[in-house]
Amino acid sequence: MQDFGYIAAKTVSEAVALLDEKGQTARILAGGTDLIVQVREARRDVDWMIDIKSIPEVNVLDYNADTGLTLGAAVECFKIYAVDEICDAYPGLIDATKIIGGTAIQGRAGVGGNLCNASPAADCIPPLIVLNASCVIAGPNGERELPAEQFCTGPGQTALENGEMLVSLKIPAPASNSSSFYLRFIPRNEMDIAVVGAGASVTLDDAKQTIVSARIALGAVAPTPLFAEEASALLTGREVSDATIDEAAQAAQAIARPISDMRGTAEQRTHLVGVLTRRALNGAIQRIRDAA
């Protein structure tokens, strides 16, 4: 592995100052499950790794039924799905945290790192988008927030400017009669990268028959995870039916622009967007109806 310096930052301002000073070849180290592999395989040139795991703000895991979830950028997957209230409030996010790698990966990898690694196939990003997550970013000029769907700008590329780091993710409290769902297609049962991923969040009326609002997001069918804005919007005010769900699935297919690679062809991926969008919507709706 190439030689690099290691600094364990103690505060956000120290990490930001280091990032600002060291420039583009400095990288934030959280769980390391992507970064260490990329450096070892010489896919990323890194002179400095700035370990943020000693910084209090990136370790916050705080859920409040009124204000929602604050999820520190370095919180590992296993800590998230250990909290029952979070599992109940954001099941779509939990779906993703439970299928990223195996047990040992989930012991180190977190949602924040999954977002910052900015893989088009990242499992956590579609759930963050459908749950209206906001990215809290610290930089030399202070703090700013960015909606999750605007965070990734290309494969491995993010909206983070020089000197900026992700501190936490803020997810609003779920509305009543709402739920979320994420699933992916992989050719085996476990331990694989999404051929296509789809997330959905749905809010129903009190009778649980009419869609008040919905959000759909797709993974692995474009250079970044996609918010399927039109497919989401057309569901507003519609009664739940197979025809309505099909319409949304077709609108989602219309924005997919997948590539063909070793995991699947563009044609297969486009087909899968329809199948998975239907299943994600129906899955979220079923969860709402199953809740007492």
Give per-residue burial for 149-165: e unless 16+ CB within 10 Å, then b: bebbeeebebebeebbb
Q: Measure the N-to-C terminal CA separation of the chain; round to a whole number of Å.
A: 53
- Give the position of tokens 């918010």: 227
Residue 198: strand pairing partners: 183, 218
Instruction: Give min distance, CB of 119 to another protein, in A.
Output: 14
- The interface with another protein within residues 2-31 (CB under 8 A) comprises 2-6, 8, 29, 31
Supply the minimum distance, in Å, between the C-beta of residue 29 and another protein.
8
Q: Which is nearer to another protein, 39 or 217 (CB)?
A: 39
Which has the closest alpha carbon to 287: 66, 130, 88, 132? 88
Closest CB 177 distance from another protein, rounded Å: 31
Segment 256 to 275, residues that bind another protein, using CB under 8 A: none
Report d(CA 177, CA 202) in Å as an integer.
Answer: 8
**Residues in a beta bridge with 179:** 202
The token pair at 68 is 């929602």
Judged by CB, which is closer to another protein: 32, or 140?
32
Q: Which of the residues 165 through 224 are near another protein (CB under 8 A)?
A: 189-191
- Tell which residue, 284, 288, 208, 291, has the closest CA to residue 248: 284
- 246 vs 259: CA distance, rounded Å: 23
Contact in structure between 269 and 258 (CB atoms under 8 Å): yes
Tell me which stretch binds another protein (CB under 8 A): 1-9, 133-141, 236-244, 279-287. 1-9
Query: Phi first, then psi: what are they for 81, rounded to 5°?
Result: -80, 0
Candidate ranges 33-41, 116-124, 236-244, 268-276; the one touching another protein (CB under 8 A): 33-41
Interaction with another protein in 82-111: which residues (CB under 8 A)?
101-105, 107-108
Binding status of residue 1 toward another protein by CB under 8 A: yes
Shortest separation between residue 53's beta carbon and another protein, angstroms: 8
**Phi/psi at 46 (5° precision):** -130, 125
Choose, by CB under 8 A, the member of 33, 114, 203, 224 that binds another protein.
33
In the bound complex, what is the minimum distance in angstroms from residue 4's beta carbon to another protein? 6
Residues that bind another protein (CB under 8 A): 1-6, 8, 29, 31-33, 36-37, 39-41, 49, 51, 53, 76, 78, 101-105, 107-108, 189-191
